[in-house]
């Protein structure tokens, strides 16, 4: 079990270090080719910004990504929170904020934000899978192994849904 916990922690950490991993459309609709989180993340490019995303939101998300890559999670969170004041129903921004809070070791907050993102994600199975994977990791870091297992199971459901759609 200890090896599994370490593997999950290292896998998620590697994925999260890559930057705010999801840049889906602001309207909450499905992205055409969203980047993947995990082992293959480096092979995928983020989709171009959606036409419906206001320029200030795109700029704030870009600033947040730069700050996060520099290790300044507080500044990254501030940019994302400003973006959410402009686009409060943008599931991708909620997810990115959850990632930043996870990096900042605020696991309960990361879990809550990822669940909010999942609620707003609509039919975007990829984003929902990412959300529930992050919920699982946050729960595991809090020591809630049963909750983490339930969240992983839910994430797996969305992986199956994605496969059926392609």
Position 157 in a domain: yes
Position 37 in a domain: no
Instruction: Report CA-CA distances (Å) from 129 to 1, 44, 79, 119, 153.
Output: 23, 17, 24, 12, 10
> Would the pTM count as exceeding 0.95?
no
Tell me which H or E stretch contains 129: helix 125-141
Note the residue count of the chain: 166
Instruction: Report CA-CA distances (Å) from 32 to 49, 50, 52, 124.
Output: 11, 10, 14, 10
Q: Which of 58, 51, 115, 102 is nearest to 83 (CA)?
A: 58
Per residue in 18-37, pLDDT (tens digit) is: 444 455 443 333 222 223 33
- Integer Cα distance of 120 and 127 in angstroms: 10
Position 76 in a domain: yes
Position 107 in a domain: yes
DSSP of 83-100: HHHH-TT-HHHHHHHHHH
Position 134 in a domain: yes
Position 97 in a domain: yes
CATH number at residue 101: 1.25.40.10
Position 33 in a domain: no
Position 44 in a domain: no
How many structural domains are present in the chain?
Answer: 1
Counts of helices then strands in the chain (DSSP H, E): 7, 0
Spell out the residues 6+ positions from residue 80 whose beta carbon is closer than 8 angstroms to its own: 20, 60, 61, 64, 93, 96, 97, 100
* pLDDT tens, per residue, the chain with 166 residues: 444 334 344 344 434 434 444 554 433 332 222 233 332 233 333 333 455 789 999 999 999 999 999 999 999 999 999 999 999 999 999 999 999 999 999 999 999 999 999 999 999 999 999 999 999 999 999 999 999 999 999 999 998 766 666 6
Residue 132 domain boundaries? 49-165
- Integer Cα distance of 103 and 136 in angstroms: 14
- Integer Cα distance of 32 and 158 in angstroms: 16
């Amino acid at each position: 079990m200890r090896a599994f916990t370490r593997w999950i922690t290292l896998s998620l950490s590697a994925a999260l270090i890559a930057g705010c991993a999801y840049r889906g459309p602001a309207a909450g609709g499905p992205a055409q080719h969203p980047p993947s989180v995990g082992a293959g993340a480096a092979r995928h490019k983020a989709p171009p910004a959606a036409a419906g995303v206001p320029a200030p939101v795109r700029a704030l998300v870009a600033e947040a990504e730069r700050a996060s890559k520099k290790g300044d999670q507080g500044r990254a969170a501030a940019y994302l929170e400003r973006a959410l004041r402009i686009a409060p129903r943008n599931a991708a921004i909620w997810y990115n904020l959850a990632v930043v809070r996870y990096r900042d070791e605020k696991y309960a907050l990361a879990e809550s934000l990822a669940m909010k993102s999942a609620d707003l994600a609509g039919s975007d199975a990829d984003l929902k899978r990412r959300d529930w994977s992050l919920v699982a990791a946050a729960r595991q870091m809090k020591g809630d192994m049963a909750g983490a297992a339930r969240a992983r199971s839910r994430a797996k459901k969305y992986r199956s849904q994605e496969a059926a759609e392609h």
